[in-house]
Amino acid sequence: QAVVTQEPSLTVSPGGTATLTCGSSTGAVTSGHSPYWLQRKPGQAPRTLIYDINKKYSWTPARFSGSLLGGKAALTLSGAQPEDEAEYYCFLCYGGPWVFGGGTKLTVL
């Protein structure tokens, strides 16, 4: 099965902008992969923020946005808040099977 890659860690200043990326070992990430982004905080169940590249749920803060960027899926956080410190996982759909990336630990500091 494919391998999905993410930055292991990123640091962003409060109020700053961070861009997390999600690549595929099979080539460019496209709309066909329906990229998802999830937020994971310690002791909590995962919370899905973005689906199908850039679609949001009612609970997704407006400061989060999704896109395709340079052959990868991207999650952009504009105006980082301390509560955004978490692990962020992307996953991609390969027909039936899905594959998660290894996660990016985002530090707001």
Q: What are phi and psi of 33, to 5 degrees?
A: -85, -10
Q: Counting contacts by CB under 8 A, is residue 101 touching other proteins? A: yes
Identity of residue 72 = K
Q: What are phi and psi of 82, to 5 degrees?
A: -55, -35
Report in angstroms the alpha-carbon separations of 12 from 9, 40, 97, 107, 109: 10, 17, 33, 6, 6
Q: Counting contacts by CB under 8 A, is residue 88 touching other proteins? A: no
Q: Which stretch binds other proteins (CB under 8 A): 13-21, 23-31, 72-80, 99-107?
A: 99-107
Tell me the closest approach of the beta carbon of residue 94 to other proteins, in angstroms: 9
The one among 47, 68, 76, 79 contacting other proteins by CB under 8 A: 47
Q: Counting contacts by CB under 8 A, is residue 30 touching other proteins? A: no
Tell me the closest approach of the beta carbon of residue 14 to other proteins, in angstroms: 26
DSSP annotation of 101 reads: B
